[in-house]
Amino acid sequence: MKNFLTILTIVLALFASPIVAQDNPAETPATPTPAETGEPAEPEGGDGTGEGEDASKTEEEEGEGEDPNPVFDYGTTSGADSGDTAWMIVATALVLLMTIPGLSLFYGGLTRRKNVLSVLVQCFACTAVMSLLWVIYGYSFAASGDGKFFGDLSVAFLKGVGPGSMSGSIPESVFITFQMTFAIITPALIVGAFAERMKFSAVMIFLVIWFTFSYCPVWHMVWGGGYLATVHHSIDFAGGTVVHINAGIAALVACIVLGKRKGFPDKAMPPHNVPFVLIGAALLWVGWFGFNAGSALTAGNQAGMAQLVTQVATAAAAFAWMMVEWIKKGKPTAVGIATGAVAGLVAITPASGSVGPMGSIAIGIAAGVVCYWASTTLKKALGYDDSFDVFGVHGVGGIVGALLTGVFAISAGGAEMIKNQIGGQVVSVVVTIIWSGVVAFIAIKIADVCCGGIRSSEDDETEGLDLADHGEDGYQL
C-alpha cells in the first residue's frame, strides 16, 4: 500500500499540472465589441425600415471568410536562422537516440538475461518522466533567474514561451527540446550503477529528487550564469561536469548505499548479450555528434570542429583501452573496446568546443587508460559493486576530460596551445562531486523511506527483476 500511495502521488503531481497551469495561447488580434469601442449597438432586427436587416446581412457576408478559431501565423515569425534551426532539430533527435535506443541496448546487453527488461524499462520510463519534469519546472529552475546556485520558477510550465520565442538564432522551443534530451540521458546513466537490485518505484523516486536538486542546480551553476560560470569561469562545452561527473558521482553513492548484488564478486556475472553492447555503443557514438557538435547551437565552425575532435578522441580512447586490455589479459574484448569508446566520448565532451585534433587525441588516450584502471583496479580495491561501471567510465572520464580541458585549448589565431585554466576546472570538478554526492545520498534515503526499503528482496533478485517488477520475460526460451 505504501508503494502504491507513493507512485500515485507522483502520477498526480505530474499529470495534474495542466489543471493548475494552462498554456498561454498565441496572441491574435480580436475583433472589438461595441462595448469596448464605445459605439452604440444596432438594435436587434433593425429599425423597421429594412436598413438594419441589410446591414446585418452585410456584416454576415463580411464575416463569412473569418476563422472563428484563429491560430498563430508562423509566417509572421522572424529571426530564426533556418540552417541553425535545421541542424539543431537533427542534433536533438541524435541526443534522444543516445538514450533510446543507444543507452538502453548498451546497458541491456551488459545485464544478465533475467534483468534485461528492467534496465530497458528504467531507461524508457526515465525518458518519459524527465521530459515532463523539464517542461513543468526543470527548464525554469535550471535556465532562469540570476541566483548563484539555483534558478527560479519564473518560466515554470514554460510560461511566456510561444512559437515566436527565440534563443539566439534558433526558436526557444528547439533549445528547450535539445536541453530536454540532456535532462533525459543524465539520470538514465545512473541506473547502470545499481542495475539488477533496486526496486523500480525507488529508482523513479530517487531520480526525480536527484534531477530536481542536483541536475538542475549544477546546470544553472555551469550553463545558466551561476557560481561556477561567473566566479570560476568553468569550461564545459557539452556536459563534462553537468552530465557525466554529476551522474557518475550519484551512481557511486547509490551503489555503495544499496550494497552489492547477491553473489558479487564471487559469482561470475557476464553480459548476457555482447552484440547488444556493441550496437548500443555504436548508437551512442553516432548520437554523440548531436551531443557535442549540437552544443555549439549553430551550424558553424565550432560545430564542425566539435564533430572532428569527438570522432578522434573516441577512436583514441577505444584503441587505448583495447591495447591496455590486450597487454593485461592477452586478448582484446568486444565489451572492452565498446566501453573504451564510451570513455572517450565522455572525456571529450567538456573540451569539444575548445580543443583541436591533437589535443583530442591526448584526451582520448588518457581517458582510455585511466577509465580502464578505474573500472578494474580501483573498483576491485574499493570493493563497490558498480554494475556497469558508471562511475569508472562517466565519473572518472568526466573528471579526466574536465581537467584536461583546462590544459588543451585553441588560441585566438586557431593554433593549438597549452592554456592554463586548471584552477577553475578543479573547483568545478570538486563542487560538482560534493553537490551531487550529498544530494544523491539524501535522495536515496528519502526513496528508502517512501518505498519501505530500496533494495529488491532476495527472492526477487534471484528470480530476476523482469518478472518481479514488470511481470514479463525478456526472452521466451
The string of DSSP codes covering 344-392 is: HHHHHTTTTTT--HHHHHHHHHHHHHHHHHIIIIIHHHHT---TT-HII
The backbone torsions φ and ψ at residue 198, rounded to the nearest 5 degrees and listed phi first, read -120, 135
The residues facing 409 across adjacent strands are 417
Q: Say how far apart CA 223 and CA 179 lie, in whole Å.
A: 11
Q: Say how far apart CA 392 and CA 34 lie, in whole Å.
A: 71
Work out the angle at residue 173's Cα, subtended by the Cα atoms of residues 121 and 30, and round it to the nearest 5 degrees: 125
> Which domains can be identified in the chain, with CATH numbers?
88-465 (1.10.3430.10)
Reading the block at residue 306, the C-alpha cell is: 566539435
The residues facing 417 across adjacent strands are 409
The string of DSSP codes covering 50-98 is: SHHHHHHHHHHHHHTTS-SS----GGG-----HHHHHHHHHHHHHHHHI
**DSSP type of residue 26:** P
**Whole-angstrom Cα Rg for the chain:** 26
Peptide bond into 101 cis (omega under 30): yes
The backbone torsions φ and ψ at residue 26, rounded to the nearest 5 degrees and listed phi first, read -60, 140
pLDDT at 52: 45
Work out the angle at residue 230's Cα, subtended by the Cα atoms of residues 226 and 235, and round it to the nearest 5 degrees: 95
- Per the rule left: phi > 0, alpha: psi between -120 and 50, beta: everything else, 274 is alpha
pLDDT in single tens digits along all 477 residues of the chain: 455 445 555 555 555 544 444 444 444 333 333 333 333 344 444 444 444 444 444 444 444 555 555 666 676 666 889 999 999 999 999 999 999 999 999 999 999 999 999 999 999 999 999 999 999 999 999 999 999 999 999 999 999 998 889 999 999 999 999 999 999 999 999 999 999 999 999 999 999 999 999 999 999 999 999 999 999 999 999 999 999 999 999 999 999 999 999 999 989 899 999 999 999 999 999 999 999 999 999 999 999 999 999 999 999 999 999 999 999 999 999 999 999 999 999 999 999 999 999 999 999 999 999 999 999 999 999 999 999 999 999 999 999 999 999 899 776 666 676 666 788 999 999 999 999 999 999 999 999 999 999 999 999 999 999 999 999 999 986
Residue 17: count other Cβ atoms within 10 Å of its Cβ: 16
pLDDT at 412: 63
Q: Is 416 helix (H, G, I), strand (E, B) or coil?
A: strand
pLDDT at 3: 56
Q: Are 289 and 312 in contact (CB under 8 A)?
A: no
Q: Is residue 125 within a helix (H) or strand (E), and if so which, with residue range?
A: helix 116-133
- Per the rule left: phi > 0, alpha: psi between -120 and 50, beta: everything else, 178 is alpha
pLDDT at 476: 83
pLDDT at 390: 98
Q: Are 239 and 179 in contact (CB under 8 A)?
A: no
The backbone torsions φ and ψ at residue 375, rounded to the nearest 5 degrees and listed phi first, read -85, -10
pLDDT at 7: 56
The backbone torsions φ and ψ at residue 415, rounded to the nearest 5 degrees and listed phi first, read -90, 145
Q: Is 191 helix (H, G, I), strand (E, B) or coil?
A: coil
